[in-house]
Amino acid sequence: MAARRLVSALRSGPARAAPLSTAPAAREQPAAGRGAAPGCGAAEAARPPSRVVDFGSPREAYRSRRSGELVRGWLVLRLCASPWLLAHHEQLLHLTRRLLGQRLFEKLMKMTFYGQFVAGEDQESIRPVIQHNRAFGVGSILDYGVEEDLSPEEAERKEMESCTSAVEREGSGTSKRERQYQAHPAFGDRRDGVISARTYFYASEAKCDSHMETFLRCIEASGGASDDGFSAIKLTALGRPQFLLQFSDVLTKWRRFFHQMAAEQGKTGLAAMDTKLEVAVLQESVAKMGIASRTEIENWFTAETLGVSGTLDLLDWNSLIDSRTELSKHLVVPNMQTGQLEPLLSRFTEEEELQMTRMLQRMDILAKKAAEMGVRLMVDAEQTYFQPAISRLTLEMQRKFNVEKPLIFNTYQCYLKDAYDNVTLDVELARREGWCFGAKLVRGAYMAQERTRAAEIGYEDPINPTYEATNAMYHRCLNYVLEELKHNSKAKVMVASHNEDTVHFTLRRMEELGLYPADRQVYFGQLLGMCDQISFPLGQAGFPVYKYVPYGPVMDVLPYLSRRALENSSVMKGAWRERQLLWQELKRRIRTGSLFHRPA
C-alpha cells in the first residue's frame, strides 16, 4: 500500500560523514559526555567556562561592521518601519526600476535592501561575506533565495492542480480527506500572509529535479574544513504536495483514533506521552468495530511488539501502521459521525505512484550528499496541512542517517498548540530506537494564513491563542530539549530566534544544566542582515551561531527582499532596538574619530 511505501522507501544503511566549511571559527572541541543515549556515545574533553554575553553594547555588536554598513543597516531598518512604504513597496520598486533602468536599479538595490539581506548573486560572490562572518565567530546556512515570480492566479491554478488527485480532478470520486487536508481555491496562493518563508509551487517533475540540484549545490558549498555546517531544504520543492496532504491526513486520522480510544477508556486531558491505553480493552473495542478477526487483533498486540506492560502509548500506536506490522494492511479508521469504517489512503494512479517514488528518491539523494559532505541538513517546517507528513518523512531520514550523530534536523513550530507533544514524542522515540535527536525550534512563519484558513474552511485553529502563549510554548519545548541534552551529549538543538529574551533564557538554562559552548550541542540562528547585536556577541563569546545566508541574482530574489521588509515591520516591530544600537554606534564613532573603522 502507498502509505507503507512512504515510510519504508527511506530505510537503508547510513552514509559516512565528512568535514564542512561554513561553521563559525569558534572553539571546536568534542563534547564531554554525561551518559548519552544508546548509539549516541560521548567523547571526553575539558570545557572552558562560558563567557558573559552582552547584547546591549553597540561597540561589541558591530565590531565586524564598517561605518557604511551601519548607515545602510540603520536606513534599511528605518524604511522597513514605515507602514506607508511597506504598503506600497512593490509599486515603488516597479516605478524605481522603470525610472532608473535595470542596471542602475540593481546597483541601488545592492547598496540598500539587497546588500543588507542577501550575500551575493552566486556561490563565488558570497565567499567574502561567509569568510568575514566566520572570522568573527558566525557561521553560515546557505540558501538559494530565488523564487518563481507567479501571479496570484497562476499560483492558485498550480496549487489546485498539484494538490488534487486524478480521481478528484475527474470528478469520479469525492475526497475522503478531512477539510484541513483538502485543497481550497481561496488559499491556493500559499505566499499570501507568509512573511518569512520561501514558497514552492509544483510545476513538473523536471522542476523538482532542478530544485534538488539547487539544494545539492548548497550542500556542496557548505562542505569544507569543519564538521558543523548546515544547509536547509523544503519538501514541497521535491514533489507533488498532493502526497504530503494525503499522508498528513492518514497520520492525523490515526492519531485522532488513538485519542478517541483513550476517551473511551476515560483517559483525556493528559499529555501525549502520558496517555496509555489498556491493551485488553482496546482489543475488545477494535473487535467490535469489525476491522479484523479477533485472532488477527490479538497478534497485533503481543509482548514482542509492545512489551509486557499491558498498555500502549502513542509511539506504540504509531508503530502499528509501520510497514513491519500486520496491522498496516488494515489502514482503516472509524468515522465517528457515520459509524462507518473508511480507508486511510486513496489509491494512486500509476503516474502518481511514480511521482511519489521520485519525491522519496530526491530526499534520499540529498541526505546522502549531506552525509558525504558532513553537512547537517535542516528540513524546514511548512503549513500544518503538510507538516504531519513532513515530520514523519524527516523522522524516517533521522532513523537512517542519525546513527552516530544528528545529521538530519527536524523543525518544530512552537506557535502550534501541539508543539510540546510533537517534541516530547520525537525525543522519546529517539531514546527508544537509539538514534540521535536533532531539532530546530522556531516560532513559525504561517500564523496569519493558518488562522484565516482554519476559520474559513471550518476546522480548529491550530495556533496558540496569543503571542505570550507562543513564547511560553517555545520556552517549554526548549527547556525539555535542553534537559535531554544534559543527559545525551550527542543530541543537538538550534535555537532559531530573533527574540533576545529567548536567547537569554537559553543561556541561563545552559549554565544551570552545565551545557557549555565548547560542547557544540546548542546552536543559535538568525537571518543575515538582522539581529547582529545577538549573533556577533554570541559568536565572539564562543557559542555556535549561524546566519541564514540567502543568495541569488538581484531581480530573482526580490520576493525574498519583500518578505524581509515585512518581517522587520510586523514581527520585529520595526527592529526598534537594533536601529537604536546602530545609531548609538554611529554616534560613538563620529565622537571618537573612528568613523573609518576597519574590522579586524
CA nearest to 495, candidates 80, 508, 487:
508
CA dihedral 169→170→174→178, nearest 10 degrees, is: -10
* CB atoms inside a 10 Å sphere around CB 186: 11
Label residues 132-168 b or e (16+ Cβ within 10 Å = b): ebbebbbbbbbbbbbbeebeeeebbbbbebbbbbbbb
SS3 43: strand
Report which secondary-structure segment, H or E, holds 440: strand 438-442
* CB atoms inside a 10 Å sphere around CB 232: 22
* CB atoms inside a 10 Å sphere around CB 231: 27
Quote the cell numbers at residue 273: 506521552
Which residue type is seen at 345?
L
Identify the pLDDT of residue 332.
53
In this structure, what DSSP letter does residue 416 have?
B
Which residue type is seen at 569?
S
What's the CA gap between 144 and 133, in Å, rounded? Answer: 18
What's the CA gap between 389 and 242, in Å, rounded? Answer: 11
What's the CA gap between 552 and 121, in Å, rounded? Answer: 4
CA nearest to 592, candidates 148, 584, 495:
584
β-strand partners of 312: 277
- Describe the chain by its helix, strand, coil percentages, rounded to 5: 55, 10, 35
What's the CA gap between 170 and 556, in Å, rounded? Answer: 36
Identify the pLDDT of residue 326.
46
Identify the pLDDT of residue 468.
94
Note whether 433 and 398 are within 8 A (CB).
Answer: no
Quote the cell numbers at residue 91: 509599486
Note whether 383 and 416 are within 8 A (CB).
Answer: no
What's the CA gap between 345 and 177, in Å, rounded? Answer: 8
**Considering the entire predicted model, what is its pTM?**
0.86
Q: HEC states along 222-265?
A: HECCECCCEEEECHHHCCCHHHHHHHHHHHHHHHHHHHHHHHHC
Identify the pLDDT of residue 183.
81
Identify the pLDDT of residue 171.
61
Contacts by 429-434, CB closer than 8 A, 24 or more apart: 429/315, 429/395, 430/37, 430/398, 430/402, 430/491, 431/37, 431/488, 432/315, 433/399, 434/37, 434/38, 434/39, 434/40
Start-to-end CA distance of the chain, whole Å, equals: 60
SS3 202: coil
CA nearest to 581, candidates 528, 530, 524:
530
Note whether 93 and 113 are within 8 A (CB).
Answer: no
What's the CA gap between 593 and 600, in Å, rounded? Answer: 17
Quote the cell numbers at residue 13: 544503511
Exposed / middle / buried, residue 425 (Cβ in 10 Å: 0-12, 13-18, 19+): buried
Q: How many Cα atoms within 13 Å fall on the side-chain side of residue 374?
A: 14
Report which secondary-structure segment, H or E, holds 493: strand 492-496
CA nearest to 42, candidates 491, 531, 415, 484:
491
Label residues 531-544 b or e (16+ Cβ within 10 Å = b): bbbbbbbbbbbbbb
Q: What are phi and psi of 137, to 5 degrees?
A: 85, 15
Which residue type is seen at 229?
G
What's the CA gap between 557 and 461, in Å, rounded? Answer: 32
Note whether 232 and 380 are within 8 A (CB).
Answer: yes
β-strand partners of 440: 411, 494
Average pLDDT per 10 consecutive residues for the chain, totaling 600 residues: 49 39 45 41 51 86 94 91 82 92 94 92 87 91 78 80 73 67 82 70 90 92 70 92 87 86 88 87 80 72 64 82 49 52 59 83 94 93 92 93 95 96 96 96 89 92 94 97 95 95 96 94 94 94 93 85 62 71 95 88
Distances (CA, A) of 177 to 14, 168, 189, 346, 458: 34, 11, 20, 9, 14
Q: 520: alpha, beta or left, given left = phi > 0 and alpha = psi -120 to 50?
A: left
Note whether 548 and 141 are within 8 A (CB).
Answer: yes
Identify the pLDDT of residue 575.
74
Identify the pLDDT of residue 39.
44
SS3 462: coil
Note whether 389 and 252 are within 8 A (CB).
Answer: no
Q: What are phi and psi of 56, to 5 degrees?
A: -105, 10
